[in-house]
């Protein structure tokens, strides 16, 4: 069986607006501009699309897993069901240890095993350094989006998912 290429996606700040607080209510869940177009472009070019998201508010009792799943369904509906899988780490460091929670890499490891993913052909798009740390642990290249961090020489940084998708496709054609 041929290995597949994948773009792993953090959720808050990459796919939907980061509110600075937990995003779990449907009325607060706003898909960012150009996300559906970016996902369509990546899918058209043969990438699996897998969301990997920390949702520590579940462990803290702020919201339920069903709230997260409802947001994921809204995302799927808005983006034409392009996302192949959603992985969620509901733990929080204050209440439980979890290897799934980024910067640990268990969510990515599970997806790599289940979908026969080639890490060398895959990418992680996140808005936090912990997203890139998780990717690095499994040999996946990372791209930082948004403006939380000053641009660094050691990481690729783009404005949003659309720019990241363009970069990924340019690198795939031009070689890395």
Contacts for 48 with CB less than 8 Å, ≥ 6 apart: 4, 5, 6, 7, 84, 85, 115, 117
Walk me through the domains of the chain, giving residue ranges and CATH numbers. Answer: 5-174 (3.40.50.1000)
Active site residues: 10, 12
Q: Which residues of the chain have pLDDT under 50?
A: 176
The pLDDT value recorded for residue 129 is 92
User: Which pTM does this prediction carry?
Assistant: 0.92
Question: What is the predicted pLDDT for the residue at 60?
Answer: 84
DSSP 146-173: SSSS---TTSEEESSHHHHHHHHHHHHH
pLDDT at res. 27: 95
Q: What pLDDT does 25 receive?
A: 92
């Amino acid at each position: 069986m041929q290995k597949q290429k994948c773009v792993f996606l953090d959720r808050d700040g990459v796919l939907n607006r980061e509110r600075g607080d937990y995003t779990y209510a449907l009325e607060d869940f706003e898909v960012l501009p150009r996300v559906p177009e970016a996902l369509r472009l990546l899918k058209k070019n043969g990438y699996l699309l897998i969301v990997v998201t920390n949702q520590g508010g579940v462990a803290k009792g702020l919201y339920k897993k069903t709230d997260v799943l409802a947001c994921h369904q809204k995302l799927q509906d808005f983006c034409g069901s392009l996302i192949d899988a959603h992985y969620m780490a509901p733990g929080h460091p204050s209440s439980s240890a979890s290897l799934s929670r980024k910067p640990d890499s268990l969510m990515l490891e599970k997806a790599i095993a289940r979908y026969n993913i080639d890490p060398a052909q895959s990418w992680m798009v996140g808005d936090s350094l912990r997203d890139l740390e998780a990717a690095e642990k499994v040999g996946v290249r990372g791209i930082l989006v948004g403006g939380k961090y000053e641009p660094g020489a050691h990481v690729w940084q783009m404005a949003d998912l659309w720019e990241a998708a363009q970069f990924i496709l340019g690198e795939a054609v031009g070689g890395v």
